[in-house]
Structure 1
Amino acid sequence: MKRIHLFCFALFIGCSGLFAQNKQLLYDFVEIPQALMVNPGMQTDFKWYAGVPLLSGLSVQAGTSGLSVHDIFADDGLDINDKVRERAVYGLNTRDMIGTTVQIELLSGGFRPANRPKDFYSFGIYHETDFVNYWPQDLAFLGYDGNANQLGRRYRLDDLKLRGEILNVFHFGINREVNPNLTVGARAKIYSGILDFNSTANEGYFVTNEGQENLLSSTLVSDMQLRTSGYEEIKEALDDDVPGDNGTRLRDVFVKRGFLGGDLGLGLDLGFSYNLNEQTTITGSVLDIGFIYHYSDPKNYTLEGQATTEGVRIILPNALVNPSGDFWQDLVDEIEELVPFEDNTNSYINFRPTKLYGSIRYSFGEPDGTAENCNCDYRVSGSRSSGIRYRNSLGGQLFVINRPRGPQAAVTAFYQRRFGRALSLKATYTADKFTFTNVGLGLNMQAGPVNLYLMADNLLAYQNIADSNYASFQFGLNIISWDRN
């Protein structure tokens, strides 16, 4: 029972969140400045905007793939040991993921130069925490059931794939209307790494066979590596802090490393919007083409080599010569010599998880009133000077993100409805590897210069959060000045 409790604890600490980083509700929501972050080439008529610090953009995504808390802890009369074994250990596979992502805008703003009315510049700083871990299927089998009665079975070490990072991103973007039908944009980024860890290029196996001098013979063939940066400095800060300091030392480390005093990298976002005709628009963007060079505080751990052991062997009468010998320690020393566990401080480069968006949108239903009466933008096609305004939009979106086990995709259908100047709603249906019942709703409100938006995904699952495989929430508050048409 103790083994089951420990396994459940480790499982659900790891399953605290899973993410795709897909912002399908925000994408191409042209009334919201933060939509420029997912498509720098979005059509926009902002004169200028200023985000409220720490409140202009908050995004949290969480969930599980293949398993929910309800699957294990539901009061359904089934034994928890059986549920862990059948639904977790033997129910998940190496394609299932566990992780979390959080983004917080620390500073954001944008403006349209008076002498270049077709350009719009945006800038800011945001914080990101990102973690992903694929389910280590064979290692879970080995950890739960052990290798008893598993002669000849190879447990794959390459099932272990995980990565995580904490960083701040400094960015500056240019959005330009090339002509009445085409808008393009680019965003340059500087990454300031706070903490990074990854173990994705593992190889090897563990196998048990019949022994020659003992009952069983175990063989380990390993080429494994865990790379970290920032961990040692953060660990020292935790050790140095004393009660009553309120984590001052740790906070100083996060501030220093997050504001260009840690690992540094460069990135680029690109995007466009193109009107096929007056009512049909296609868009696309590629985000985070970039890397981070981890050099400020690297610490890496490796396990490389091959070893075969038949366990503790006590050979009489030779063992009587040294009856106080530590046979277990001798065994450990022998294995460590054959498969050395080492560490180093080599610098390394990590490439960012690149994301790709695309959409097609059809707009219809001109609103009441004339274009001259409106100085807010809810036009979704046509040039800024055309004065065309549409109440409704519908279409489809595609999202792809690069992951350690290959691309991960999602498709979305959406409908957007505008109610005059003050209110706009966007409803989405998304299908991906986490759920096929993801219905989301985004709300944007404009009260004078004050802009407020709220968005949530997978609304059907909110009636039982514990049984949900995915949830997403976004919130933002801005001050906006619109360009008159």
Structure 2
Amino acid sequence: MRNCKLILLAWFLGCSFMVGQNKQILYDFTEIPQALMVNPGMSTDFQWFAGIPALSGISVQAGSSGLSVSDLFADDGLDFNTKVRDRAIYGMSPRDELSGTYQVELLSGGFRGKNPDNFYSFGIYSEGDAIGYWLKDYAILAFEGNADQLDRKFDISHLSTRGEMVNVFHFGLNKRVDNKWTLGARAKLYSSVFNFSSTRNKGYFVTTEGQNNIFANTLNADLELRSSGVNEIEDALDNDSSLLPGIITKRMFFGGDLGVGLDLGFTYKLNKQTVITGSVLDLGFVYSSTDVKNFTVKGSATVEGIEVILPDAFSNSNTDFWQDLVDEVDALVPHGTNNNSYIYFRPTKLYGSIRYNFGKITKTNMDCDCNYMVSKRRDYTKYANGLGGQLYVINRPKGPQAALTAFYLHRFGRALALKGTYTVDKFSFSNVGLGLNIQAGPVNIYAMADNLLAYSNLADTHYSSFQIGLNIISWGKK
């Protein structure tokens, strides 16, 4: 149970600062090298780039689809217990979620090969992802009890959560095939710090009239909570927290569970002004075998509570009826733990977009006499304006989760570019975002923020995010 407590703590802490990360502002923002991370097949015109370690790509998102802070704590004259009951316990559904991701680049870079059609990228980043759905029936049972819930089946499957922290080592190839097609692929090696999941639970808990007592409680469950890498971290927190940095660092660099993955992407130019893009990220898995502990409840059992037979009960004053009940429940409820290794899959993400470019043609940064620049089969034309739409889908425990984005991109020459977005998803129907890219000579600085309309009252928002980065970029010598 200590293991379960740490998992729940990690879930709540993780979700408090981390949403399955839709980087809709960054996607296809081709002035920024980190856009390769969401589409390895985007059009590139860099000769090389180098990210500033730990500053080249930082992104954090946070969200809740069912409840905001002000829903519970706003000074609206309503009783707090009433708000908890109406807005949280009964107001949220089992599909409402807390979810999130953080990502920090530790190392990033890229360079154009001897064949100028090939651009290689590489790097290391740390990522944490967590999601938890609202445990509606569990909350009702805890809040109301089962005294007035005769014959109601409380759904065990409402427990659905997963989370992880991994270090990702990657190497990618971006290849310009011809004047229309650019393709990309990225190989990934995952080094897991910890993982936990409980997503395929089934069963129910029900209270009925008893035969030997007033009530009978029946548990029919197929439930499993899997974890790897959690127990050693918990022991360090309990006994010697100074060991924690060493444990995490070791696991980040191949001292824990390992896995492999793949990213794929493309850019296709229908004509000079219309562009279609798409990518699929994190087609991969991790094999968990380090510090594994799994908790299971599988089977069915019925308990009718304390049975007291009078006056015989008075003849033995040493009888501990409550302990007898605890022992009976422990014997009947089919539960256990094991250390079986398991495989878990990364949350796969899908992007797609269509963009129409128009307006003044801006002078490309690749303004040189390099041989690879003057080939007729290469067109690096950039327009002042871009308008289009994007689709984002992420694989989640209760099915795919999608978002639609409309965007407008405007370039102010070489030095400045702005991208505005309007996104609709399960968290918000009024998510307005803005991305800023500044190119000061070789220095590239970008900053992005989402759901700007909610910044006037963060306590009332269901979603917020930001991304920042700092790079050095070269387009070659004139």
TM over 0.5: yes
| Residue aligned with 2:382, SS | coil
Task: Give the equivalent residue in structure 1 for 2:181.
Answer: 182
Please identify, of 383-392 and 318-327, the stretch whose mean Cα deviation from structure 2 is larger: 383-392
Aligned pair count reads 464
Consecutive unaligned residues in structure 1, runs of 5 or more: 1-8, 242-246, 376-381
**Aligned-pair CA distance for 1:391:** 0.3
Is contact 1:185–1:271 with CA below 8 Å preserved after alignment? Answer: yes
Matched, 1:272 2:266: yes
Task: Give the equivalent residue in structure 1 for 2:301.
Answer: 307
Which runs of structure 1 show a deviation greater than 4 angstroms over 4 or more consecutive aligned residues? 9-15, 370-375
| C-alpha distance in structure 1 between counterparts of 2:242 and 2:232, whole Å | 14
Task: Give the equivalent residue in structure 2 for 1:227.
Answer: 226
Task: Give the equivalent residue in structure 2 for 1:32.
Answer: 32
**Aligned-pair CA distance for 1:464:** 0.1
| Residue aligned with 2:77, SS | coil
Is contact 2:19–2:100 with CA below 8 Å preserved after alignment? Answer: yes
Please report the RMSD computed on the Cα atoms of aligned residues, expressed in angstroms.
Answer: 2.0
| Residue aligned with 2:105, SS | strand
Which of 330, 342, 351 is matched with 2:345 structurally?
Answer: 351
Matched, 1:365 2:364: no
| TM-score for both structures, normalised by structure 1 | 0.92
Is contact 1:18–1:97 with CA below 8 Å preserved after alignment? Answer: no
Which structure 2 residues correspond to residues 37-436 of structure 1 after superposition, within 5 A? 37-113=37-113, 115-241=114-240, 247-367=241-361, 374=367, 385-386=378-379, 388-436=381-429
State percent identity of aligned pairs: 62
| C-alpha distance in structure 2 between counterparts of 1:436 and 1:179, whole Å | 39
| Residue aligned with 2:23, SS | coil
Pair 372,324 (structure 1): closer, same or farther in 2 beyond 3 Å:
closer
Alignment-mate amino acid for residue 400 of structure 1? V
Pair 91,12 (structure 1): closer, same or farther in 2 beyond 3 Å:
farther
Is contact 2:18–2:102 with CA below 8 Å preserved after alignment? Answer: no
| Residue aligned with 1:320, SS | helix
Alignment-mate amino acid for residue 61 of structure 1? Q
**Aligned-pair CA distance for 1:296:** 1.5
Alignment-mate amino acid for residue 44 of structure 1? T
Alignment-mate amino acid for residue 448 of structure 1? G
**Aligned-pair CA distance for 1:69:** 0.3
| C-alpha distance in structure 1 between counterparts of 2:311 and 2:275, whole Å | 86
**C-alpha distance after superposition, 1:340-373 (max 9, x if no partner):** 33111110000111100000000011246x5599
| Residue aligned with 2:40, SS | coil
| Residue aligned with 1:46, SS | coil
| TM-score for both structures, normalised by structure 2 | 0.93
Is contact 1:89–1:137 with CA below 8 Å preserved after alignment? Answer: yes
Pair 62,481 (structure 1): closer, same or farther in 2 beyond 3 Å:
same
| C-alpha distance in structure 2 between counterparts of 1:437 and 1:321, whole Å | 71
| C-alpha distance in structure 1 between counterparts of 2:165 and 2:426, whole Å | 25
**C-alpha distance after superposition, 1:390-443 (max 9, x if no partner):** 100000000000111000000000000000111000000000000000000000
| Residue aligned with 2:87, SS | helix
Is contact 1:50–1:479 with CA below 8 Å preserved after alignment? Answer: yes
| C-alpha distance in structure 2 between counterparts of 1:356 and 1:10, whole Å | 27
Alignment-mate amino acid for residue 59 of structure 2? S
Pair 44,415 (structure 1): closer, same or farther in 2 beyond 3 Å:
same
| C-alpha distance in structure 1 between counterparts of 2:103 and 2:207, whole Å | 45
Task: Give the equivalent residue in structure 2 for 1:5.
Answer: none
| Residue aligned with 1:143, SS | helix
Please identify, of 336-345 and 418-427, the stretch whose mean Cα deviation from structure 2 is larger: 336-345
**Aligned-pair CA distance for 1:223:** 1.5
Task: Give the equivalent residue in structure 1 for 2:19.
Answer: 19
Pair 12,257 (structure 1): closer, same or farther in 2 beyond 3 Å:
closer
Pair 427,69 (structure 1): closer, same or farther in 2 beyond 3 Å:
same
**Aligned-pair CA distance for 1:210:** 1.2
| C-alpha distance in structure 2 between counterparts of 1:14 and 1:213, whole Å | 46
Is contact 2:52–2:471 with CA below 8 Å preserved after alignment? Answer: yes
| C-alpha distance in structure 1 between counterparts of 2:248 and 2:116, whole Å | 39
Alignment-mate amino acid for residue 214 of structure 2? L
| Residue aligned with 1:16, SS | helix
| C-alpha distance in structure 2 between counterparts of 1:73 and 1:277, whole Å | 54
**C-alpha distance after superposition, 1:64-119 (max 9, x if no partner):** 11210000000011111110000000110011011321100011011012x21110
Alignment-mate amino acid for residue 463 of structure 1? S
**Aligned-pair CA distance for 1:14:** 8.2
Task: Give the equivalent residue in structure 1 for 2:464.
Answer: 471
Please identify, of 386-395 and 179-188, the stretch whose mean Cα deviation from structure 2 is larger: 386-395
**Aligned-pair CA distance for 1:237:** 2.3
Alignment-mate amino acid for residue 277 of structure 1? N
Pair 328,82 (structure 1): closer, same or farther in 2 beyond 3 Å:
same
| Residue aligned with 2:251, SS | helix
| C-alpha distance in structure 1 between counterparts of 2:179 and 2:420, whole Å | 28
| C-alpha distance in structure 2 between counterparts of 1:338 and 1:383, whole Å | 77
| C-alpha distance in structure 2 between counterparts of 1:397 and 1:438, whole Å | 14
Please identify, of 269-278 and 228-237, the stretch whose mean Cα deviation from structure 2 is larger: 228-237
Pair 122,463 (structure 1): closer, same or farther in 2 beyond 3 Å:
same
**Aligned-pair CA distance for 1:217:** 1.2
Consecutive unaligned residues in structure 2, runs of 5 or more: 1-8, 369-374
| C-alpha distance in structure 2 between counterparts of 1:254 and 1:385, whole Å | 46
**Aligned-pair CA distance for 1:212:** 1.9
| C-alpha distance in structure 2 between counterparts of 1:214 and 1:437, whole Å | 55
